[in-house]
Amino acid sequence: MAIDLDKINQDIEQWGTNAASNLQATGSAMGIHHRAGSPSTKPSLQQIVARFKYAHGLVHVVSFRVPRQLIFVHKGAGKGMGGTVGSSWADRYGNQMKTNPNSFGKMGTGSRQEKPFYNSTMESPAGVESLSDIVVTSLGDAIVNNLLIK
């Protein structure tokens, strides 16, 4: 019995599309919204999309394009609310910047509470667990069916 890669890929892609929608819904339920005066032209949650990479005709990587600003929201970080280590970057003018030491350890405190929409979605039954069921069922059946003498 041949392995139906198209069916497996279709199931995985459908899971990815559903997971992206679930990420958007969970983020919205946690109060993540597009604020007036934002430099973004459209809401960040709407920019979440599933992406797939293929090897030998089979999806081997599922990833999600998540705007960088949503990672700050997820972790509760923002201006004046840094983590414990800090970071450095170049601003749009090429100036080397680094985290203000006064903000160390303030991530997830005050008005910047973390909103872990990504992890809570992926840890739900419709998250990674559901994807693993698809992969195990599809590939497990294919392997077992190919062991039989025909």
User: How many angstroms separate the first and last alpha carbons of the chain?
Assistant: 9
Average pLDDT over residues 39-45: 83
* pLDDT(113) > 90: no
Q: Which of 127, 125, 130, 133 is nearest to 20 (CA)?
A: 127
pLDDT in tens, 74-108: 777 666 656 666 677 788 898 998 877 777 766 66
In angstroms, rounded to a whole number, what is the distance separating the alpha carbons of residues 98 and 48?
Answer: 28
List the structure tokens of 83: 């983590």
In angstroms, rounded to a whole number, what is the distance separating the alpha carbons of residues 1 and 29?
Answer: 45
To which H or E segment does residue 97 belong? strand 96-98
Sequence-distant (≥ 6) Cβ neighbours of residue 67 within 8 angstroms: 40, 44, 47, 48
Q: CB of 107 within 8 A of CB of 81?
A: yes
SS3 label, residue 118: helix
Range among 104-108, 119-123, 146-150 with highest mean pLDDT value: 119-123
Q: Looking at residue 31, what DSSP letter applies?
A: T
DSSP string, 38-79: -SSSS-GGGG-EEEEEEETTEEEEEEEE--HHHHHHHHT-BT
| pTM (global) more than 0.85 | no
| pLDDT of amino acid 42 | 84
In angstroms, rounded to a whole number, what is the distance separating the alpha carbons of residues 79 and 103?
Answer: 8
